[in-house]
């Protein structure tokens, strides 16, 4: 597979998403090498001198005041990595760890970390040859960097820890040897450069963001289908309404829904003589809610794009000024805020979608659809409990959406006395997206069933294509059957973007 060439400081989110989805290896643009080597030379000179420089010839954190002898600097860095391998819990998925490794490359490539080029090349070769460190998912508080998870990643570079190669878990040194690579002992500051950083939190946040945006696109499609299923009005999609408010996401959501519903016979059939004056908010306010969520996701995206390209270790080597300066770029507060924003958007997209599901199965609100969307209610329960499942997942996501950045606690003997909690704030996004995909999958099942009950009236051509794609994998429900596989299949179609693509219309982009 052709490697993705990453430009430090200028790699776009679209490239990172492609890297994550494809599993392609990553390498740095070689134009960054002179700056990387200049910073490494600065560190080497500091290590040879007598002045105490944090992370080069001192202890770490609360132990920063302890000077380390020159003969012990290599041991210092190795001890740092081994002692910080304190992660617990299930290993990160391979694709998340590989994205984290690529983000570490980007950070080191800024030329402010002081690592040797050999280490960058080893990380690139691990990506190219499929050596993936085993990184436990829990243990980072998202300040002073994602210390534990990045230590597990770095351990493999020095021949320690564990890594997966071709589906087998091996000790780090064996994993490297199995593909012809050798560990590299760390020099002054290099261990610190690898573990001080936000790449674990950022990788998880990006994965959550990419999934959330895919779900937002799918929600526009399923919501349009639901609107037709309950014979909802398209008057609230009138462009002037949305331009008068001015929010970009709302304007785009309304425009997309207008295009999706254009040409629907179902819609045209009730323009005159409809006794309903207004639809419930879950139909009428879809652009305002999903569009607002899109705006929030885009704000989070801008933050994460900056962070993905940032130098986030400590101290940083300012080669232009000839300085090695301690700062706080390792603090993942921006990532934590972006993760919390993404969680709120995921929760709200699911909340309004769940209300549309509830609307469609309720015969008092669905405008003459049969109870629970079954042709023989009573004998059959139809999609009754599928709706209950969406309610459970909606509520779970509401709970998970509570902010994490506000939950700081002091660590490391009060030296690191405010932390971001970005790591689990970002990690919780993936299960939230999985829940949302199920909610939207059930909405698609209900809406497809609903428009089919409107026959001989037909929905629009784009939405008919969506129903056809769904029916290729999930049959219509004439009588009760074992439904769990259908829900799983519908969720998979949402997660893969298959239903959104089936509409064959332009959708808003991140």
The residues annotated as belonging to the active site are 54
Contact 194, 150 (CB under 8 A): yes
Token pair belonging to 18: 């492609």
Write the Ramachandran bin of 188: left for phi over 0, alpha for psi from -120 to 50, otherwise beta: beta
Contact 490, 239 (CB under 8 A): no
Three-point CA angle 459, 461, 463, nearest 5°:
60
Contact 237, 224 (CB under 8 A): no
Distance CA 126, CA 102 (A): 11
Contact 353, 223 (CB under 8 A): yes
Distance CA 68, CA 52 (A): 9
Q: What is the CA radius of gyration of the chain?
A: 26
Distance CA 94, CA 468 (A): 34
Please list, residue by residue across 22-57, b when 16 or more beta carbons sit within 10 angstroms of its beta carbon and e when fewer do: eebbbbbeeebeebbbebbebbbebbeeeeebbbbb
Number of CB atoms found within 10 A of residue 410's CB: 12
Nearest to 494 by CA among 466, 468, 452, 463: 466
Nearest to 397 by CA among 349, 447, 339: 349
Token pair belonging to 173: 């040194």
Distance CA 319, CA 328 (A): 18
Provide CB contacts within 8 A for 67, sequence distance 6+: 52, 57, 58
Cis preceding linkage at 467, omega within 30: no
Q: Up-side HSE of residue 164: CA atoms within 13 Å toward CB?
A: 13
Please list, residue by residue across 179-211, b when 16 or more beta carbons sit within 10 angstroms of its beta carbon and e when fewer do: eebebbebbbbbbbbbbbbbbbbbbbbbbbbbb
Cis preceding linkage at 405, omega within 30: no
Distance CA 283, CA 251 (A): 16
């Amino acid at each position: 597979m052709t490697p993705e060439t990453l430009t430090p400081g200028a790699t776009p989110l679209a490239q990172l998403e492609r890297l994550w989805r494809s599993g392609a290896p990553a390498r740095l643009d070689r134009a960054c090498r002179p700056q990387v080597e200049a910073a490494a030379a600065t560190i080497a000179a500091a290590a040879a001198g007598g002045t105490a420089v944090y992370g080069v010839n001192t202890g770490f954190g609360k132990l920063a005041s302890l000077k380390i002898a020159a003969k012990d600097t290599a041991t210092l860095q190795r001890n740092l990595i081994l002692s910080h391998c304190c992660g617990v819990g299930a290993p990160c998925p391979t694709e998340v760890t590989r994205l984290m490794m690529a983000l570490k490359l980007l950070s080191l490539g800024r030329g402010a970390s002081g690592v040797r080029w050999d280490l960058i090349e080893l990380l690139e070769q691990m990506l190219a040859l499929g050596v993936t460190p085993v990184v436990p998912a829990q243990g980072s508080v998202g300040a002073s960097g994602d210390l534990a998870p990045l230590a597990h990643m770095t351990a493999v570079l020095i021949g320690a820890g564990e890594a997966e190669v071709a589906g087998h878990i091996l000790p780090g040194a064996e994993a490297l040897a199995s593909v012809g690579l050798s560990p590299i002992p760390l020099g002054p500051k290099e261990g610190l450069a690898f573990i001080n950083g936000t790449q674990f939190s950022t990788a998880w946040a990006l994965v959550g963001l990419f999934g959330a945006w895919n779900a937002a696109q799918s929600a526009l499609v399923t919501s349009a289908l639901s609107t037709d299923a309950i014979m909802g009005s398209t008057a609230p999609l009138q462009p002037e309404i949305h331009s008068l408010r001015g929010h970009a996401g709302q304007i785009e959501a309304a425009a997309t829904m207008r295009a999706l519903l254009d040409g629907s016979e179902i819609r045209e059939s009730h323009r005159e003589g409809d006794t309903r004056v207004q639809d419930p908010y879950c139909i009428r306010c879809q652009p305002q809610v999903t569009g607002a969520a899109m705006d929030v996701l885009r704000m989070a995206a801008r933050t994460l794009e900056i962070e993905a390209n940032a130098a986030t270790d400590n101290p940083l080597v300012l080669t232009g000024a000839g300085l090695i300066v301690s700062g706080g770029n390792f603090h993942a507060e921006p990532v934590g805020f972006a993760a919390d924003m993404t969680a709120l958007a995921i929760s709200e997209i699911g909340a309004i979608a769940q209300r549309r599901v509830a609307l469609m199965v309720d015969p008092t609100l669905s405008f003459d659809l049969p109870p629970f969307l079954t042709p023989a209610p009573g004998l059959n329960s139809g999609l009754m409990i599928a709706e209950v499942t969406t309610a459970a997942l909606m509520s779970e996501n509401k709970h998970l959406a509570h902010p994490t950045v506000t939950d700081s606690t002091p660590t490391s003997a009060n030296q690191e006395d405010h932390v971001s909690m970005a790591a689990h704030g970002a990690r919780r996004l993936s299960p939230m997206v999985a829940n949302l995909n199920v909610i939207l999958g059930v909405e698609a099942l209900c809406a497809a069933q609903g428009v089919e009950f409107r026959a001989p009236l037909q929905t629009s051509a784009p939405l008919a294509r969506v129903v056809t794609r769904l029916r290729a994998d999930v049959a219509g429900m004439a009588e009760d059957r074992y439904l769990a596989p259908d829900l799983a299949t519908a969720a998979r179609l949402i997660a893969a973007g298959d239903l959104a693509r089936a509409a064959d219309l332009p959708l808003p982009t991140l």
